[in-house]
Amino acid sequence: MDEITFSDFAAAGYNYIPVIRKQTWHDSLGALLRCFPESSVWKLAFKHRTYVYLTLDYQHKISAFGNTIVAQQGQTVHTWPDTPLWPYIEDLRAAYTVPPLHSIYADLPPLMGGMIGILPRAPSQNSTTSWPDATWLVMKTVIILDTHEKTLWLLAYDDPIHRHTWITLNQQLDVITKRLADVPEETALMRAHAQQAKIALAHQTTPEALMTLAQAQTQALDACYAAMRYVSTNTVHSALMPEPADFLAYVDSHTIAYWLHSPTFQLLGAADTCHITLSGQTLCGYLASPVPSPDETLASLLWDSLRNDLSQVALPGSMRIVDPAIADGKHHWQQQYLQTQIAEDTSVFDVLRACHPASAFLGCPKIDAPFKLNNTSSEPYLLGCQIAIIGWDHQSVMWVSQKAKHWHSTSDIHVSSGETCEEIGIPVIAGLTPKLAKDKA
Amino acid sequence: MSVLLLDHDGQGTHTIAQYLGELEIDADVYKSHQLSIDDIITLDPSHIILSPSEKNLEETIAIIQHLGPDRPMLGIGLGFIAVIQACYGTLESIPGFYAGQVHQVKHTGTRLFHGLPNPLAGVCYQHHSVTVDNLPKTLDVIAWTPSSSKLTDVIVAVKHQSWPLEAILFHPEAMLSEYGHKLLHNFVHK
């Protein structure tokens, strides 16, 4: 998608455009549309009503201070005074629609992107089972195909009240199943071990929990690559991953830019942000760590891992490391930065596979994690989560958001503002928190 | 001159390849499962660097035992572990060692450490090593670090008495390790 197409969409009233190639800074609304496409950003914004700061990559930043919005692109700074942020956000939230991309890309495959989830089986069968919060550290919204129950789930996360809801989408199962049959097996067969996932409950900062969490991230994202490869081989020009929590990526055949607010990092307190950009042949890695670091040893380990990640696809001898620098005036953050050239015949997907999750805690399990997890289970098919993915079925999945209500819907189950799934007749199969289970009973 | 880097999905294998690139040394990285011993012989690298993991330790030990006598070989990190085991040594856990820890490495100044300050900083990711009592008779200690919890020093580098085989427990490619480039240069050129 080029900028003209994007602008046409924007002019037509679409403000959630899941295929983005390049940010521009024509106006503040345009910047916001490009900078705030993802739900976790909204969440962030609500937490900090007076101040929003986002780093798109190492040279793109946008900030909102009270009524002033500031966008920075390299050395160029754009400022819009007397432009309150919140009216923009509220306006966008009130009219959050997706363009009919199929009308433009007739050959667009049904799956436009993907995110796989780490979903234990138990919560789908037992409403009293707590949902592993670690899942939500990895992603926001998932579509799940339970290959054993022959059920398709749409899992929505209602953030403001911290509850989760399952919605069956059986009417589309056959269609989606058929489509999934075209997806490479490595994507369709991603599984995780239920017990492992339970261990990874958030806030359990035991080594085992962290290891499992890292594995969960790895597995989820590895599947994401597979989905992207599927996308790439089906002549889609670009794809935006749909809403993994705290993860954004812009991908096309020539450029990637992603950054990761890793929950692993945050739990450990060792680093906050890691991002990697590839522009042409130049690959950059960036790691921001708090100063003083609560664990300098771990921070350096993460940095070493990041260097190794990038080295996998770098031209030998091309890596240049910039000395650590203090990122802000109050000396809260230290940023480390390295730059390298990618080797010949390296694709953007090679880069993603090698580098993401950047500076993973475990370093090595980027590919092996799914197999390791399966090997730990005596009945991986039954104990493991079945499959999560995949999709973004263009028009049939629509984000509907209004005020404090967040629901995902399909084109044939349209959710109006303020309505809950129960109110519009979508069967709520299981509330995944004790509170919801009690309410249901 | 070419270096074969056997990659076992280790933490720093590709960074080592970067270092070698900066030293203008040709290095080929292969996944360990991609190559048999015969394949390695066919490739005929002048030097081999090992960074094995537990999952194929036996294969790595076999490589060391087959090619160690006449092929310069350096084990790094878990490669150190493999070298010890290939020479029939016994490892033990070192209390107080943890991943990413920076140690003051004292050394003998021999080949691998030629021209390097003494001591130098080295980062270890493993917490197993070998004691002097359990050190195979075919290996000599060439570097060690004081242990906070043991009365004796912890061995962090060894060399074979008759083979061109060396191993270091610390990671020269780690950010907080010192003189990693020089150490790799010594391995290839000294």
CA distance B109 to A440: 73
pLDDT: which is higher, B182 or A425: B182
Q: Which two tokens stand for residue A37?
A: 């496409």
Distance from CA of A305 to the nearest CA of B (A): 6
Write down the pLDDT at residue A12: 67
Q: Which two tokens stand for residue A208?
A: 């085992």
Q: Which two tokens stand for residue B44?
A: 């005929």
Q: Given an 8 Å threshold on Cβ–Cβ distance, is A300 in contact with B100? A: yes
Q: How do the domains of chain B map onto residue ranges?
A: 2-189
Q: Given an 8 Å threshold on Cβ–Cβ distance, is B18 in contact with A304? A: no
Q: Given an 8 Å threshold on Cβ–Cβ distance, is A304 in contact with B11? A: yes
A293 reaches B (C-beta below 8 A): no
Residue in chain B closest to A305 (alpha carbons) equals B11
Tell me the torsion sign for CA atoms B130, B92, A210, A198.
positive
* Largest pairwise CA distance in chain B: 46
Residue in chain A closest to B172 (alpha carbons) equals A304
Residues of B in contact with A311 (CB under 8 A): 14-15, 17-18
Residue in chain A closest to B52 (alpha carbons) equals A364
For residue A198, give Cα distances in angstroms to A134, A207, A212, A371: 8, 14, 9, 18
pLDDT: which is higher, A336 or A423: A336
- Asked whether the predicted pLDDT for residue B15 surpasses 50, the reply is yes
CA atoms within 13 A on the CB side of B82: 29
Q: How confident is the model at residue B180 (pLDDT cuts 50, 70, 90)?
A: very high
Strand bridging mode A68-73 / A151-158: unpaired
Single-letter residue type at A261: H
- Asked whether the predicted pLDDT for residue A56 surpasses 80, the reply is no
CA distance A412 to A424: 12
Please answer whether residues A9 and A99 qualify as being in contact, where contact means their C-beta atoms are separated by less than 8 angstroms: yes
Bond preceding residue A434 cis, omega within 30 of 0: no
CA distance A112 to A315: 31
Residue in chain A closest to B171 (alpha carbons) equals A304
Nearest neighbour of B15 by CB, restricted to A311, A365, A366: A311
Q: Given an 8 Å threshold on Cβ–Cβ distance, is A315 in contact with B21? A: yes
- Asked whether the predicted pLDDT for residue B105 surpasses 70, the reply is yes
Strand bridging mode B170-171 / A320-326: unpaired
Q: How confident is the model at residue A79 (pLDDT cuts 50, 70, 90)?
A: low
Q: Given an 8 Å threshold on Cβ–Cβ distance, is A364 in contact with B9? A: yes
Q: How confident is the model at residue A302 (pLDDT cuts 50, 70, 90)?
A: low
Bond preceding residue B172 cis, omega within 30 of 0: no
Question: Element (H or E) spanning B167, and its range?
Answer: strand B165-168
Q: How confident is the model at residue B59 (pLDDT cuts 50, 70, 90)?
A: confident
CA distance A293 to B58: 39
Nearest neighbour of A311 by CB, restricted to B17, B175, B176: B17
Q: Which two tokens stand for residue A390?
A: 């995949």
- Asked whether the predicted pLDDT for residue A198 surpasses 70, the reply is no
**Coil, strand, or helix at residue A406?**
strand
Distance from CA of B2 to the nearest CA of A (A): 13
Please answer whether residues A303 and A336 qualify as being in contact, where contact means their C-beta atoms are separated by less than 8 angstroms: yes
Provide the 10 A C-beta neighbour count for residue A309.
25
CA atoms within 13 A on the CB side of A279: 10
Superfamily of domain B2-189: Class I glutamine amidotransferase (GATase) domain (3.40.50.880)
- Exposure string of A173-190, with b = 16+ CB inside 10 Å and e = fewer, is beebeebbeebeeebbbb
Write down the pLDDT at residue A341: 87
Residue in chain A closest to B9 (alpha carbons) equals A364
Write down the pLDDT at residue B83: 92
Residue in chain B closest to A359 (alpha carbons) equals B11
Residues of A in contact with B12 (CB under 8 A): 304, 307-308
Q: Which two tokens stand for residue A276?
A: 């990697």
pLDDT: which is higher, B54 or B131: B131
A187 Cβ contact partners less than 8 Å away, ≥ 6 residues apart: A114, A116, A223, A226, A227, A230, A389, A390
Question: What is the CA B33 to chain-centroid distance, rounded?
Answer: 19
Residue in chain A closest to B28 (alpha carbons) equals A316
pLDDT: which is higher, A412 or A321: A321
Q: Given an 8 Å threshold on Cβ–Cβ distance, is A303 in contact with B175? A: yes
Q: Given an 8 Å threshold on Cβ–Cβ distance, is B11 in contact with A314? A: no
pLDDT: which is higher, A268 or B70: B70
Distance from CA of A321 to the nearest CA of B (A): 10
pLDDT: which is higher, A226 or A348: A348
Residues of A in contact with B11 (CB under 8 A): 301, 304-305, 308, 363-364
Instruction: Name residue, tokens 């900090």.
Output: A48
Q: Among the listed ranges A149-153, A190-194, A307-311, which one has the minimum average pLDDT value?
A: A190-194
CA distance A220 to A141: 12
Percent of chain A at pLDDT above 70?
Answer: 9
Q: Among the listed ranges A356-365, B51-60, B166-175, which one has the minimum average pLDDT value?
A: A356-365
Using alpha carbons, select from A193, A184, A230, A244 the residue that is nearest to residue A215.
Answer: A193
Write down the pLDDT at residue A360: 39
Distance from CA of A344 to the nearest CA of B (A): 15
Please answer whether residues A34 and A116 qualify as being in contact, where contact means their C-beta atoms are separated by less than 8 angstroms: no
Percent of chain B at pLDDT above 70?
Answer: 91
A34 reaches B (C-beta below 8 A): no
Nearest neighbour of A300 by CB, restricted to B53, B173, B176: B176
For residue A23, give Cα distances in angstroms to A59, A258, B177: 12, 13, 40
Q: Which two tokens stand for residue A439?
A: 């309410």
- Asked whether the predicted pLDDT for residue A338 surpasses 50, the reply is yes
- Asked whether the predicted pLDDT for residue A273 surpasses 50, the reply is yes
CA distance A437 to A432: 7
Please answer whether residues B51 and B80 qualify as being in contact, where contact means their C-beta atoms are separated by less than 8 angstroms: no
Q: Residues A111-116: what's their mean pLDDT?
A: 26
Residue in chain A closest to B101 (alpha carbons) equals A297
Counting one residue from chain A and one from chain B, the pairs whose CB atoms sit within 8 A come to: 75
Provide the 10 A C-beta neighbour count for residue A203.
8
Residues of A in contact with B15 (CB under 8 A): 304, 307-308, 311
Single-letter residue type at B121: A
Q: How confident is the model at residue B132 (pLDDT cuts 50, 70, 90)?
A: confident
CA distance A149 to A385: 12
How many helices (H) and strands (E) are present in chain A, helices listed first? 16, 17
DSSP annotation of A358: T
**What are the residue ranges of helices labelled H in A84-145?**
85-94, 122-125, 133-138
Single-letter residue type at A219: Q
For residue A334, give Cα distances in angstroms to A55, A301, A303, B48: 15, 15, 12, 37
Strand bridging mode B2-7 / B47-51: parallel
Distance from CA of B20 to the nearest CA of A (A): 7
Please answer whether residues B116 and B142 qualify as being in contact, where contact means their C-beta atoms are separated by less than 8 angstroms: no
Strand bridging mode B47-51 / A151-158: unpaired
CA distance A252 to A240: 9
Q: Among the listed ranges A28-37, A155-164, A343-352, B171-180, which one has the minimum average pLDDT value?
A: A155-164
Residues 245-274 of A with CB under 8 A from B: none
Distance from CA of B35 to the nearest CA of A (A): 18
Residues of B in contact with A318 (CB under 8 A): 18, 21
Mean pLDDT of the residues in chain A: 42
pLDDT: which is higher, A155 or B180: B180
pLDDT: which is higher, A324 or A315: A315
Write down the pLDDT at residue A340: 87
Write down the pLDDT at residue A84: 58
Q: Which two tokens stand for residue B161?
A: 């008495």
Inter-axis angle of helices B57-67 and B78-86, nearest 10: 60
Write down the pLDDT at residue A437: 26
A177 reaches B (C-beta below 8 A): no
Burial class of B101 by CB neighbour count within 10 A (0 to 12, 13 to 18, 19+): middle
- Asked whether the predicted pLDDT for residue A371 surpasses 90, the reply is no
Residues of A in contact with B21 (CB under 8 A): 315-318
Write down the pLDDT at residue B108: 94
- Asked whether the predicted pLDDT for residue B81 surpasses 70, the reply is yes
Mean pLDDT of the residues in chain B: 87
Residues of A in contact with B9 (CB under 8 A): 363-368
- Asked whether the predicted pLDDT for residue A337 surpasses 60, the reply is yes
Using alpha carbons, select from A23, A18, A224 the residue that is nearest to residue A101.
Answer: A18
Q: Given an 8 Å threshold on Cβ–Cβ distance, is B100 in contact with A308? A: no
CA distance A422 to A440: 11
Q: How confident is the model at residue A229 (pLDDT cuts 50, 70, 90)?
A: very low
- Asked whether the predicted pLDDT for residue A180 surpasses 70, the reply is no
CA distance B105 to B170: 9
Q: Which two tokens stand for residue A164?
A: 């989760």
Q: How confident is the model at residue A367 (pLDDT cuts 50, 70, 90)?
A: very low
Q: Which two tokens stand for residue A380?
A: 């991986």
Residues of A in contact with B171 (CB under 8 A): 304
Tell me the torsion sign for CA atoms A319, A322, A323, A326.
negative
B67 Cβ contact partners less than 8 Å away, ≥ 6 residues apart: B37, B40, B41, B48, B73
Q: How confident is the model at residue A320 (pLDDT cuts 50, 70, 90)?
A: confident
- Asked whether the predicted pLDDT for residue A398 surpasses 50, the reply is no
